Amino acid sequence: MLDGRARPSLHQRFSFALCYPSPVPRPFLIDTDTASDDAVALIMALRAPDVRVVAITTVAGNVPVAQSTRNALYTVELCGANVPVYTGADKPLLRTYQNATWFHGRDGLGEHNYPAPSQSAASAHAVDAIIEAVEANPGIVIVTLAPLTNLALALAKKPEIAAKVGRCVVMGGAPCCEGNVTPAAEYNIWVDPEAARIVMRGGLPVELVGCGDVDCARSDDRNALERALHRRRNSERVDARHDRGRSPERGRR
C-alpha cells in the first residue's frame, strides 16, 4: 500500500502476454478393415486435437475391402473430416481370405443400414498411399487395426520407408492370453501371418497391442483390468527368470 493506494499487480505494471507453444498435431496413418470397433477408433483419432490423420487405408479383414472402404468413408463423413481414404488389398498374401462378418454383421457395423457415403475413395492404391504418406511425413505414426497385408506390401515395394516411421502401433497378436480365433491366434495376425512376419521383421518400430490389452482397454470392469495386469506381471516374472538362467554362451548365440 503506497499513499493509501493498492500496489499495482505484476500484470498491470508489465504489459505482456504469456505465450505457450501450442502442441503440433502428430501425423497418423491408419490402416483398417473398418468394422464397428475400428469405426470407433477412427472417430477418436479424427476428433483428437493432437492428431492429424493424413490418410486412411483399407484392407480385407473383418469385412471385404469394398465394404471396409465404404465404412471408412462413412465414418470420415460422420466426423466432418477431410481425410482421403485409399482402398488396398482384397485378400491375404498367400492364404484364403476369411472374414468375420459372422461377428460384425455383413456390413461390419451391425447391419443398421447406415446410408452410403457421398464421397468416393481416392484413386491411388493403399500401398502407394502408405509409401507417399511416410515419405511426406518423416516420423509418422502408423496405426494398424487390421491384417497387415497393406503394410507388408508397402515394405516389400520400398523397404527404406521403415526407417522414416516414428511408431508403428499394431493391434494384433495374443502374447499373454488366449486368442480370439484359436487358443493361440488373434484374428488380425491369423488372417495373414505371412504379412505379419514381413512387418515384424521389416525394421519398423513396432509396438504390439495384443488381444488381452485391447480387451482390457475396452472394459471398465475393474476385475478385467486386474486380470490383465496379473497376466502381464506373471509374463514379466517368467521372462526375468529366463534371463537369469541364461548362460553367457547361450546369450551370445
Which of the residue ranges 21-35, 112-126, 141-155 would you say has the lowest mean pLDDT? Answer: 21-35
Asked whether residue 189 is assigned to any structural domain, the reply reads yes
**Domain enclosing residue 189, as ranges:** 24-209
Asked whether residue 7 is assigned to any structural domain, the reply reads no
Asked whether residue 236 is assigned to any structural domain, the reply reads no
pLDDT for the residue 142: 98
pLDDT, tens only, 167-216: 999 998 877 777 777 777 889 999 999 999 999 999 999 998 876 555 44
pTM of the model: 0.76
CATH number at residue 92: 3.90.245.10
Asked whether residue 163 is assigned to any structural domain, the reply reads yes
Number of domains in the chain: 1
pLDDT for the residue 121: 97
Dist CA 253 CA 250 (whole Å): 5
Nearest alpha-carbon partner for 38 in 102, 106, 109: 109
Place of cell 481425410: 83
What stretches of the chain adopt beta strand conformation (E)? 26-32, 51-58, 85-87, 140-144, 165-171, 206-209
Dist CA 117 CA 109 (whole Å): 14
Average pLDDT estimate for 140-149: 97
